Structure 1
Amino acid sequence: MIKKVFILLIFNCLVAQITTNNSFNNSKAVALAGSAVSTPGGIENIVNNPANLSFNSTASISAGSVIFYEMDELLEYQYCSILYKPNKNTNLSLTMQHLGVDAKPHDGFTTRDITLSSERAIMFSHGFTLFRDRNSSLRMGYNANYFLLKQGQSAGVSGDGTDGIPAIKRSKVGLDVGIWASLRGKVFLGAFIKNINSPSIGTGSFANFLPKKINIGFSYIPIKKLITSFSYERLAGSTTNHFRFGIEYEIHKYFTLRTGIQMKPNRLGVGFLTPINDNSSFSYSFLSHPTLPLTHSIQIGLYF
């Protein structure tokens, strides 16, 4: 019971900051411990760097879920991205994200779960190529996010909700910008700024700015089947710097191993990607935590 309360307290703080801003938002990011801002990846990297969108050569769909700290009955994050390629140098994408905190009532009468908080984000992404020649390329992209945050009614002093805080609903639009460059197909640089327009939820003294963060990284491909990545992330107003390192190695054409580490706090990610056939793939990953249980992620990809 104490363990669950502790996790709830942590996530109440996270949800107040819009949890879909976290760096561990898909199977690849979980496996690489968040070091995905500069890695080539297309639809897998939309949330981490929309400039990567222009990497995809065909239309595709990606869907999956992240179960934080093995609390599958309490906390689960779902997402689905659809990518459309109107021309050679431009990709468009629509992504739906959802995370909710549910609680099971213990009054003996109510059987359905009670939603304590719910967050949805609808994200439109546009990635395009600014420059490309035989040796290098420069790509750019942006995410336009519509955030919708709902907080359930509190129990109040009486415990039955009669004197509690009523349920609220808040919405806001956020803008992300990313840039991505490559040199000779071996060196890749990526930069990403989240909520560059400094959106806030609430008004007056109750206004809370959504977290703004910057993520910078580079990737290097020493051999054809190996990708190494390093990234630096910092949240605006925070004194904590996150350093991350990740590796992707294609052991076999049907199996790619992924792993990564993060400092502050120290976390280890491990996962894999396996093509089901020429038009689909499956990936799984998990991420450790110094004190809490593992975070798990699964993802399905379809390519047309």
Structure 2
Amino acid sequence: MELKNLNITIAGGTGFLGQVLIEYFKTRVKHIYVLSRNFRPNSKKVTYLIWDGKNQGDWTRALASSDVLINLAGKSVDCRYTPANKKAIIDSRVESTKALGLAMHNCETPPSVWVNASTGTIYEHSESTPMDEEHGRLGNTFSEEVAKKWERAFFDFYRREVRQVAVRIAIVLGKKGGALQPIKAISKLGFGGQQGNGNQQISWMHEEDFARAIGFIITHPEQEGIFNLAAPLPIRNRHFMQNLRAILKVPLGINLPRPLLELGARLIKTETELILKSRYVQPKRLLNAGFKHKFTSPELALKDLLS
């Protein structure tokens, strides 16, 4: 299976990760169909189709023309975990996955590969024990339960001719979006010290390696099941912030202890878990399959993204 011959459908393609994939694949595949809640103008290689993430509609016709389906749909977790937001976070993932599954069941010639997003947050907080696909311990907090329900909805679908891959994605570092932008902004203001005790592991991946990994999985038909998408080695929060300050040439880095982070999180309507949880995600299956990361250290990634 060569990328240049493929048509790809991306659900939830207007978010940060979706835009990363579109930018990467638009010069490498035949055509991309993007399922979006909002209208966007089409281009020669990209067609946008309206969907609501729940109901069947005209968008389902794209599947009959596609070789690959990639689902990234889901409400951002960068919000306060109120009851309403918790429900929206779960429903947006589970309902969109079920809607795609129904469309795939009803499609006479469905895509032969379905890649569904999940998250490295599915694993429990760990500062010293690596979590791979085989031995990683799944947690029981709200975020971890969201991930488990998301994957359950995905693997409840089965069609013999469809290869299914759930990708547990670590923090993707990018030039135009994702977690790096707000961290960069506060660092420039002098608040780029460690967050909390600074011991928490950051499992990360450069945006180019993220797109390359998706392409690798698509073009290797023997690969299915669950994959962790992360760089080979995580980095502790305090060291990541040191590297970031050095590249930005910001000498001052005021530490942000947990109480201050809790206050700040309330003010900007988010949760400290996004910063304080230790994610020690190991991409064992990806490495064993022969994937070679281009960016293996945070220093290399940050220099490239911040240049």
TM-score by length of 1: 0.30
Higher normalized helix content (fraction of residues): 2
TM-score by length of 2: 0.30
